């Protein structure tokens, strides 16, 4: 991921696409040159967004945000940054988390392959028409960098209209009358996360920027400080993105309601517990090699074996399960599952009411002192027939999944009544004998 070649990440996002079909280099306006190819992270939601008034008719822009090795690893901190503590390196040579939003980052960040490099963060430019409304499709294609995106106009935070998360429109298949747009002034996007938002450009002459604010990844995590990742310039001669959503037409009618009930109202088939953990080869040396685990409670911790096809979990298509995922390490982990989506029900044991589904979520770090480990509770949805098969779940930080923090789940076809074992005879309540008719 750190070789600087754009081809690697684009093909990972869209294996069927060629690089020249997708990227127009020159500014930060990544544009699709062929309507035959779509970036797969957003396929699930693109058509369902059309009936939303806030998205219809908007120009759309794709922002691929990724990280890379520092271009200036030995540079002194910029004099413009007030707090810049000495950088401590972790076992991978990346800068450790300072906990206060400052210092040298573990990685540089780029937007559409234009880097905003430490220490001055001279970011590339996104040119927009003044006061224009656009739909931005954002993917965090970073290996280890968490994002906390914010749009600043003259130093003041602006709101994003969130219309989709991880490829699923807001409130799709949820309760009737629910909001289709969620307005926020920042966007938390973990590695592997995708988000679709409506933005409004500043007036001409207003200084504006897209920044990522600091993310506290824990005592054992990498450093993700506050920094600018793109300049926003409003100009009357700004070129429009080449792709625009239809304003009206046959494709903008509301989609037919799903036959499946909203996930939050479904009674789960069962509850499972999983946990993240790490093991240092030398507990006295925090920079010694580390083995990473993602364990199903009741099973022995084991680093993922890429040569094995034995699943850690087996479910049937049609099942809905609650998974409680615990973090027993001192750095944030980024849970991700393939093929399916889930609904977050609890964060640290506190009930939440989110009108959207995800397939990627942060699990907070353990502080090393509290009796209870941090947890999230997720309602996993295996009702889609397309979910049948064998696929992984893992931490989406590249160093962690490559280090063994992964497992396999097999979704088998739905059980038929005839496939279910008959109950034991001792549990069967027999009907009374039918009385004989008189002779």
Tens of pLDDT, residues 137-150: 999 999 999 999 99
pLDDT in tens, 360-373: 999 999 999 999 99
CB 137 within 8 A of CB 60: yes
In the structure encoding, which two tokens stand for residue 310, read together? 């034995």
In the structure encoding, which two tokens stand for residue 29, read together? 């306006």
In the numeric block, the tokens 């006295």 are attached to 284
Stretch 65-93: mean pLDDT, rounded?
71
Q: How confident is the model at residue 397 (pLDDT cuts 50, 70, 90)?
A: very high
3-state secondary structure of 86: coil
- The whole-number pLDDT of residue 333 equals 97
Report pTM.
0.80
Beta-bridge partner residues of 377: 324, 346
Evaluate if residue 256 carries a pLDDT over 80.
no
Evaluate if residue 423 carries a pLDDT over 90.
no
Cβ contacts of residue 140 below 8 Å, gap of 6+? 65, 66, 146, 147, 189, 190, 191, 192, 193, 194
Q: How confident is the model at residue 17 (pLDDT cuts 50, 70, 90)?
A: very low
Question: Before 144, cis peptide (omega within 30)?
Answer: no
Extended beta strands in 75-145, E state: 108-111, 114-116, 124-128, 133-140
Q: How confident is the model at residue 93 (pLDDT cuts 50, 70, 90)?
A: low
Q: How confident is the model at residue 248 (pLDDT cuts 50, 70, 90)?
A: low
Give the dihedral sign, CA 179/35/141/81.
negative
Angle at 165 between CA 339 and CA 184, to 5 degrees: 160
Closest by CA to 408, choosing from 302, 321, 322, is 302
pLDDT in tens, 324-367: 999 999 999 999 999 999 999 999 889 998 888 999 999 999 99
Going from the N-terminus, what domains does the chain have, and what CATH number goes with each?
6-252 (2.60.40.420), 266-416 (2.60.40.420)
Average pLDDT over all residues of the chain:
80
Cβ contacts of residue 355 below 8 Å, gap of 6+? 170, 171, 174, 178, 179, 182
CA distance 175 to 241: 34
CB 198 within 8 A of CB 93: no
């Amino acid at each position: 991921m750190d070789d600087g070649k754009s081809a690697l990440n684009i093909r990972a996002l869209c294996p069927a696409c060629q690089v020249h079909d997708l990227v127009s280099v020159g500014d930060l306006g990544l544009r699709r040159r062929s309507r035959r190819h779509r970036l797969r992270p957003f396929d699930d939601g693109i058509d369902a967004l059309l009936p939303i008034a806030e998205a219809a008719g908007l120009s759309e822009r794709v922002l691929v945000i990724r990280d890379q090795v520092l271009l200036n690893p030995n540079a002194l901190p910029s004099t413009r940054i007030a707090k810049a503590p000495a950088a401590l390196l972790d076992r991978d040579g990346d800068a450790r988390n300072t906990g206060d939003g400052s210092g040298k980052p573990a990685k540089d960040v780029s937007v559409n392959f234009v880097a905003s490099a430490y220490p001055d963060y001279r970011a590339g430019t996104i040119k927009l028409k003044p006061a224009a409304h656009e739909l931005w499709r954002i993917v965090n294609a970073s290996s280890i960098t968490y994002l906390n995106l914010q749009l600043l106009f003259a130093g003041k935070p602006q709101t994003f209209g969130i219309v989709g998360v991880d490829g699923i429109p807001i409130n799709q298949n949820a309760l009737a009358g629910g909001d289709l747009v969620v307005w926020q002034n920042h966007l938390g996007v973990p590695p592997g996360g995708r988000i679709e938002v409506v933005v409004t450009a500043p007036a001409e002459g207003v200084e504006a920027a897209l920044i990522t604010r600091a993310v506290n990844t824990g005592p054992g995590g990498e450093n993700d400080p506050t920094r600018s990742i793109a300049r926003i310039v409003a100009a009357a001669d700004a070129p429009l993105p080449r792709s625009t959503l239809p304003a009206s037409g046959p494709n903008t009618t509301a989609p037919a309601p799903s036959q499946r009930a909203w996930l939050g109202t479904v009674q789960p088939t069962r509850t499972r517990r999983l946990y993240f953990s790490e093991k240092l080869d030398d507990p006295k040396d925090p920079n010694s090699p580390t083995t990473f685990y993602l364990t199903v409670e009741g099973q022995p911790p084991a680093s993922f074996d890429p040569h094995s096809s034995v699943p850690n979990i087996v479910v049937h298509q049609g099942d809905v399960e609650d998974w409680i995922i615990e973090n027993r390490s001192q750095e944030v982990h980024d849970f991700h599952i393939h093929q399916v989506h889930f609904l977050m029900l609890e964060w640290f044991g506190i009930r939440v009411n989110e009108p959207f589904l995800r397939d990627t979520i942060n699990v907070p770090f353990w502080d090393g002192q509290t009796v209870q480990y941090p947890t999230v509770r997720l309602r996993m949805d295996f009702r889609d027939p397309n979910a049948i098969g064998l696929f992984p779940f893992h931490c989406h930080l590249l160093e962690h999944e490559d280090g063994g923090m992964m497992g396999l789940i097999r979704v088998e076809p739905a059980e038929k009544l005839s496939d279910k074992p008959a109950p034991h005879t001792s549990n069967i309540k027999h009907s009374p004998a039918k009385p004989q008719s008189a002779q």
